[in-house]
C-alpha cells in the first residue's frame, strides 16, 4: 500500500502535507502552552487570594478565641468566683467552669492538630454556644445579684463573635481548602493537556521527519531517473545523428558518381538515362531515410521547432531544386508560379523544407506524366498560402482523411505501384501543427491533387536574410 501511495503521490505534495501537519501541530502546542501558562498564572493568583482569605479566617478565629477566653476569665474573676460561694450551686458552677476550661484547652489542642480551618471554626462555634449555655444556666441557677445582666451582655458578645465566624464562612461560599483543591485540579488538567499536546507534536514531528526523509529519497531517485533519461535521450539523439549520417553518406557518393557518369555520357542516351535513374533512386532513398528518422523523432516527442522570420521563396525554390532529381526520365514539368513578391513567414526553415520536400516528392511520385506546380498567391489576412498541385492520379474522397495517418496511403495498390513508406504526410501535418501552420487537400481521382499550406506572415516583413539560413541553390 505504501509503495502505491508513494508512486501515485507527488513528492512535493507529500512533503507539503507533512509540513502543514507539523505546522498545525506546532501551533496547537503553542496554543496549549499559552493556555496552560494562563491557567497556571490564574491558579497562582486565585491560590494567593484563597490563602490570604484563609489567613484572615485564622486571624479572626484567633481573635474570637481570645475574646471568648477573656470573657470567661472575666466571668470567673468578677462573677463566677463570688457566685461560687453560694454553696448550694457551687459544685455545678465549678463543674461548668471546669468544663469551660477543659473545652478551651481542648479547642486549642484540636485546632493545633486540625489541618482544616473550617472544621476548627465549626468546632469553635459549637463550643462557644455550649459554653455560653452552660455559663448562662449556671449564672441563672445561682440566682446571682445585679451581675446577671452584665454577664448576659458578655455572653451575647461571645455569641456575636460566633455569628461573625459563620458570616465570614457564608461570604466565602466555600471553604478555602475546597477552593485550593479545585484550583489544584484545574492546574493539573492544564498541565496534562500540555503534556498530551507535546506528545502529539512530538509524534507529528517524528512523522514529518520520516516523510521528509522519504520525500528526499524519492526526489533523489527521481533526479537519478531524470539524469538517466537525459543520458538515454542524448544517446538516442546521437544514435539518430550517427545513423542518418552513415545511411546518407554512401547514397551521396552514389549520387556523386551518377553525376559523373551523366557528365561522361556525352550524348549517349542509355548512359544518360541510367545515370538519371541512379540519381533518382538514390535521392528517393535519401528522402525515405529522412522520413523514417523524422517519424521516429516525432514518435519520441523529440521534435523541437525554432521559429524565426524565414524567406519562403528561397525555401520553396530550394525544395524544387532538391526534388528535380526525383522526376528522372518521366515527362513531368516542375514549375514555380509566384503572384508578386513572396513575403517572409514566421516558421522553422528546416522543418518547412521538410514539409515542401515531402509534398513535392508525393506530387512527383504520383504524377506519371504532366505537371507539378508550386503556386504562391498574394497573401491575404496576414497569411500566405502555398499550393502544391499536380496532374497525377489523384485520390478518392474517402482516402482524404486517412492519408494523414502514419503508414497510410490512399490504398495498398498505390503502395505496391509507387512505393513509399506512407510517412510523408503525417510528418507534414505534425511539423505544421508545431509551427502554427495548416494544410488542406483537394483531390479528384484521375485528375490530380492540390495540397494547400497556410503559414502566418512574419511580423518583421522586409527584414534582411539571416546568416543561419540554408543556401539557396535555385
Which residues are near another protein by CB under 8 A? 240-241, 244-245, 248-253, 255-257, 259-261, 263-264, 266, 279, 283, 286-287, 290, 293, 306, 318, 321-322, 324-325, 349-350, 353-354, 467-474
Nearest distance in Å: CB 378, another protein = 28
Q: Residue written as cell 518583421?
A: 460
Q: Residue written as cell 556525352?
A: 266
The 8 Å CB, 24+ separation contacts for 88-97 are 89/138, 89/141, 89/142, 92/138, 92/141, 93/138, 93/142, 96/134, 96/135, 96/137, 96/138, 97/72, 97/138
Q: Over the Cα atoms of the chain, what is R_g?
A: 57
Q: Which residue lies nearer to another protein by CB, 16 or 329?
A: 329
Q: Which residue lies nearer to another protein by CB, 251 or 399?
A: 251
Q: Which residue lies nearer to another protein by CB, 240 or 418?
A: 240
- What's phi and psi for 66, nearest 5 deg? -60, -45
Nearest distance in Å: CB 431, another protein = 12
Q: Which residue lies nearer to another protein by CB, 173 or 464?
A: 464
Q: How far apart are CA 120 and CA 132, in angstroms?
A: 18
Report how far apart, in Å, the C-alpha atoms of 32 and of each of 19, 22, 29 are: 20, 15, 5
Q: Which residue lies nearer to another protein by CB, 199 or 253?
A: 253
Residue 373 is inside which H or E element, if any? strand 370-376
Nearest distance in Å: CB 464, another protein = 14
Cα–chain center distance at 132: 83
Nearest distance in Å: CB 260, another protein = 6
Q: Which residue lies nearer to another protein by CB, 58 or 261?
A: 261
Q: Which residue lies nearer to another protein by CB, 412 or 467?
A: 467
Nearest distance in Å: CB 300, another protein = 14
Largest CA distance in the chain: 181
Query: Does residue 441 contact residue 400 with C-beta atoms inside 8 Å?
Result: yes
Nearest distance in Å: CB 393, another protein = 26
Nearest distance in Å: CB 256, another protein = 3
Amino acid at each position: 500500500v505504501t509503495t502505491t501511495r508513494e508512486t501515485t503521490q507527488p513528492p512535493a505534495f507529500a512533503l507539503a502535507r507533512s509540513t502543514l501537519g507539523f505546522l498545525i501541530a506546532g501551533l496547537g502546542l503553542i496554543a496549549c502552552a499559552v493556555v496552560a501558562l494562563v491557567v497556571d498564572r490564574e491558579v497562582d493568583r486565585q491560590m494567593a487570594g484563597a490563602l490570604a482569605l484563609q489567613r484572615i479566617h485564622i486571624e479572626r478565629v484567633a481573635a474570637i478565641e481570645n475574646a471568648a477566653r477573656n470573657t470567661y476569665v472575666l466571668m470567673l474573676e468578677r462573677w463566677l468566683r463570688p457566685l461560687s460561694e453560694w454553696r448550694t450551686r457551687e459544685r455545678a458552677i465549678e463543674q461548668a467552669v471546669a468544663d469551660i476550661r477543659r473545652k478551651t484547652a481542648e479547642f486549642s489542642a484540636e485546632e493545633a492538630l486540625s489541618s482544616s480551618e473550617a472544621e476548627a471554626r465549626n468546632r469553635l462555634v459549637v463550643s462557644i454556644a455550649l459554653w455560653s449555655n452552660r455559663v448562662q444556666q449556671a449564672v441563672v441557677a445561682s440566682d446571682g445579684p445585679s451581675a446577671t445582666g452584665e454577664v448576659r451582655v458578655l455572653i451575647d458578645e461571645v455569641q456575636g463573635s460566633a455569628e461573625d465566624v459563620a458570616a465570614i464562612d457564608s461570604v466565602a461560599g466555600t471553604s478555602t481548602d475546597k477552593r485550593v483543591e479545585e484550583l489544584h485540579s484545574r492546574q493539573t488538567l492544564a498541565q496534562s493537556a500540555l503534556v498530551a499536546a507535546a506528545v502529539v507534536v512530538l509524534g507529528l514531528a517524528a512523522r514529518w521527519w520520516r516523510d521528509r526523509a522519504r520525500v528526499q529519497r524519492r526526489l533523489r531517485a527521481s533526479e537519478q531517473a531524470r539524469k538517466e533519461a537525459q543520458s538515454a535521450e542524448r544517446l538516442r539523439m546521437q544514435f539518430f545523428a550517427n545513423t542518418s549520417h552513415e545511411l546518407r553518406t554512401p547514397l551521396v557518393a552514389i549520387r556523386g558518381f551518377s553525376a559523373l557518369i551523366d557528365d561522361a555520357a556525352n550524348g549517349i542516351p542509355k548512359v544518360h538515362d541510367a545515370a538519371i535513374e541512379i540519381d533518382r533512386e538514390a535521392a528517393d532513398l535519401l528522402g525515405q531515410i529522412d522520413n523514417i528518422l523524422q517519424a521516429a523523432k516525432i514518435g519520441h516527442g523529440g521534435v523541437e521547432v525554432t521559429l524565426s522570420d524565414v524567406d519562403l521563396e528561397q525555401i520553396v525554390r530550394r525544395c524544387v531544386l532538391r526534388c528535380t532529381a526525383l522526376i528522372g526520365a518521366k515527362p513531368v514539368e516542375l514549375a514555380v508560379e509566384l503572384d508578386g513578391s513572396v513575403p517572409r513567414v514566421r516558421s522553422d526553415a528546416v522543418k518547412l523544407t521538410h514539409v515542401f520536400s515531402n509534398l513535392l516528392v508525393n506530387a512527383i511520385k504520383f504524377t506519371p506524366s504532366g505537371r507539378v506546380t508550386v503556386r504562391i498567391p498574394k497573401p491575404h489576412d496576414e497569411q500566405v498560402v502555398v499550393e502544391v498541385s499536380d496532374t497525377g492520379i489523384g485520390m478518392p474522397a474517402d482516402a482524404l482523411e486517412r492519408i494523414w495517418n502514419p503508414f497510410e496511403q490512399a490504398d495498398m495498390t498505390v503502395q505496391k505501384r509507387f512505393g513509399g513508406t506512407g510517412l510523408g504526410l503525417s510528418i507534414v501535418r505534425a511539423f505544421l501543427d508545431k509551427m502554427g501552420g495548416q494544410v488542406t487537400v483537394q483531390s479528384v481521382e484521375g485528375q490530380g491533387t492540390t495540397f494547400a499550406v497556410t503559414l502566418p506572415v512574419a511580423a518583421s516583413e522586409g527584414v534582411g536574410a539571416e546568416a543561419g539560413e540554408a543556401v539557396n541553390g535555385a
